[in-house]
Amino acid sequence: VHIYSKILGPFICKPLRLPKESSLTLVVSILCGYPLGAKYSCDLYTENHISLSQLQRLLNIASNVGPLFILGTICTAMLKIQGIAPYILLISNYASCLIMSFLIPKTSTIGIDVPSFKNDKKNIGAILKESLDQALATSLSVGSFIVIFSVFNFLIGDLEIFNLFFYKVSNLLNMPLDAIRGVFFGLIEITNGCNILSTSSISLPLKLSLVSFLCSFSGLCIIFQVYSFT
């Protein structure tokens, strides 16, 4: 946090009206996406680098899908598109977070006791073990949420009442049934929803618009992951 604050704090955090200690969280969120932005935001608050009001503001700004998911999973594996379209989708994803930084009022920094940098007495072995333990715990937690909500999507997809609901909405909005299903399941778990949308019969611009919406909303699966950290 100390190193990132000195190097990137003035360039990244000042324009976004965030404390310079938030620079590490912003970088992690940009490179890795959900839900690590929330995890690192909570770590900053736990270690008394930022206030509760600053944490609440940072959670809404450091909140985006990772570039690997958009460029690799969605655009390459699912939609199978190349050219500039994937990067437009990625840039719009980042732009929405930047817009949030200007819409959300700046919070007061009065009463914040930012700890000074201290040299950690732990040796490299202890630090490495702690890092691996945290990484493993986070990976298992995130993976477990994805499994739970994917199973939930599968169970809903087999219920006749939901299939009737999808059919009614499809006729009402004059949209293909698979597009309606993709958006609905994407609101629960983003990967399943984007996969269904990628195989739907709607036009590519509409696909990208709906996928962009799902990436911004993130889905209940991601929201529960964030809630587990907050």
**Residues with Cβ within 8 Å of residue 117, at least 6 apart in sequence:** 2
Q: Buried (b) or exposed (e) across 31-61, using 16+ Cβ within 10 A?
A: ebbbbbbbbbbbebbeeebbbeebbebbbeb
The pLDDT value given to residue 45: 93
CA distance 226 to 230: 6
The pLDDT value given to residue 119: 56
The pLDDT value given to residue 183: 92
Number of other residues whose CB lies within 10 A of the CB of residue 73: 18
Angle between helices 177-188 and 190-198 (to 10 degrees): 160
The pLDDT value given to residue 34: 87
Model confidence, pTM? 0.80
The pLDDT value given to residue 201: 86
The pLDDT value given to residue 110: 45
The pLDDT value given to residue 185: 92
Contact 222, 143 (CB under 8 A): no
Contact 161, 186 (CB under 8 A): no
CA distance 44 to 29: 14
Q: Which residue has the tokens 């490179």?
A: 31
Shortest CA distance to 58 belongs to which of 20, 114, 3, 111?
Answer: 20
Give the chain's length.
230
The pLDDT value given to residue 111: 42
33: left (phi over 0), alpha (psi -120 to 50) or beta: left
Contact 172, 35 (CB under 8 A): no
The pLDDT value given to residue 210: 93
| Residues lower than pLDDT 50 in the chain | 110-111, 115, 117
CA distance 179 to 74: 15
The pLDDT value given to residue 213: 93
The pLDDT value given to residue 108: 53
